[in-house]
Structures are given as structure tokens and as C-alpha cells.
Amino acid sequence: MDGTTAVVTGASRGIGAAVAEQFVAEGTAVLACAREEDGLRALAERVREGEPSGELTTQRADVRDEYDAERLLELAARIGGTIDLVVANAGVYHGTAGETPLAEEPYAAYDDHLRTNGRGVYATIREAAPHLADDARVLVPSGRVAREAQPGFGSYAVSKAAAEAIARGFAVELDPPVGIVDPGQVETDLSGGAGHDPEEVAEMFVWAARELDGEELNGAVVDLKTWRRATR
């Protein structure tokens, strides 16, 4: 093992699952959480089949609940002593991507987008902060809709803008760098199944966590073009 400990939220599928698998394969002790236990069990089975050099621990947790988040990050600290990486990935999209006009969304969808995609990121980073190693990093996945208005993305886009603002706020207050990773459209349930392969995107997160200069990451948006220029 490489001696590092990572926490990946929203790890039952999509980007979170791919990122967790990639870090375990490279020797990291990963604590993966999600609300869906079936997805976590499937992740654990895939990791075992891959004969990883690291270790995977799964924990059901709802990042909308600060007490769940607190217990999750305390568990991670017990596993590794300190936490070296946090990927605050947990997110939801209520409806079909690109087909949820803001003026037509149910209030319940708006509220849960903000609770999960905004408050969930806040709770994850806040509860991680006391346990972060000096050279730790925090990565917050996001997308262009957080910065450039597009029709049909409604309160999901609002919530991702909130997540980016939260990341920037922590970036100026915490010593370890906190950055936003924008992998473009990724083939997940949230995107409607179109976009980049999550396994390819996972390599981008590994690069942002281990190779990108911390000053370039902190408070910044790191996108696909930046990654490809740096690694080609």
C-alpha cells in the first residue's frame, strides 16, 4: 500500500465508483460511502476481483446528514490516522438532464438538489477538516453548467454553483488545497448515459490528487483541457 487514505462519497456508481476503484488499485486505503448499499456491495466485489494493492472499506452514509458525515470522516481518520484525500462526489439529479426548466421544477427537487449537491459537499469538507493531513487535497467534482447558464438544467445547475462556491470558500480558509474538478460530461445516470467513460475520468482525479501543483489546484477549476495538456 502507498500509505495514504482517501474518502470518496457517492461511490456506489459512476464517477465515485470509478475513482474509488482506481485509487484502491494504486495502493490507497479508500473509504467509500453512498446511500445505496447494493451499489457499495457491487463495488466491493469488483475491487476484490481486481486483486488491488490497496484496501477498500465501504460505509453507508448520507452526506445530507451532518452526523452521518461526522461519523464517516471520523472512521476514515481511524483507518489512516489522518485523511490524505477527499473526493466530495455525492450528487443527485431529479429529472432528465437538460429537461428540467428552472421555472417548472418542483420545490422538493430544488430542495434536495441543494441539500445533496450543496450542503452535502459542505458537510463532507467541514467534517473532514480536523482530520486532514498537512499535504492532503480535497476535490469537488462539478461541471460547466455551474458557471455557464444552459436551459433545462434548473436547480441542479444552481446546486453545482453552490458546491463550487463552497469549495472556493474552504480553499481560502484551509491549509490543504481544495479544488474543483470538471471532467466534462460523463456517462452516468445523472447525464442520461452520454459522455466520457468514468474509468477515463478517474485517471484525471488521480492526477489532480497526486501530480497537479497544489497552488494551481487551490480554489481553481481544473478541466479536461488542463489535464490533457499536462499529461500528453
pLDDT at 216: 97
C-alpha dist (Å) from residue 111 to 35, 116, 169 = 18, 9, 22
- Interatomic CA distance for residues 22 and 215, integer angstroms: 24
pLDDT at 189: 60
CB 43 within 8 A of CB 17: yes
Model confidence pLDDT, tens digit, residues 51-101: 778 999 999 999 999 999 999 999 999 999 999 999 999 999 999 999 999
C-alpha dist (Å) from residue 188 to 5, 93, 192, 196 = 26, 11, 6, 9
In the CATH scheme, what is the code of domain 5-231? 3.40.50.720
Residue 149 has pLDDT above 60, yes or no: yes
User: Please, which pLDDT band fits residue 148 given cuts at 50, 70 and 90?
Assistant: very high
Q: Taking the CB of residue 209, how many other CB atoms lie within 10 A of it? A: 25
Over residues 121-145, the mean pLDDT reads 97
Model confidence pLDDT, tens digit, residues 6-15: 999 999 999 9
pLDDT at 187: 77
pLDDT at 197: 85
User: Please, which pLDDT band fits residue 199 given cuts at 50, 70 and 90?
Assistant: confident
- Interatomic CA distance for residues 193 and 48, integer angstroms: 26
Helix axes 224-231, 198-210, angle to 10 degrees: 70
What backbone phi and psi angles, to 5 degrees, belong to 142?
-155, -170
- Provide the Cα torsion 157, 163, 181, 199; round to 10°: -70
The DSSP 8-state label assigned to residue 104 in this structure reads: G
The grid coordinates of residue 46 equal: 469488483
- Interatomic CA distance for residues 100 and 49, integer angstroms: 39
The model's pTM is 0.94
Residue 188 has pLDDT above 80, yes or no: no
User: Please, which pLDDT band fits residue 1 given cuts at 50, 70 and 90?
Assistant: low
pLDDT at 193: 59
Model confidence pLDDT, tens digit, residues 15-50: 999 999 999 999 999 999 999 999 999 999 999 998
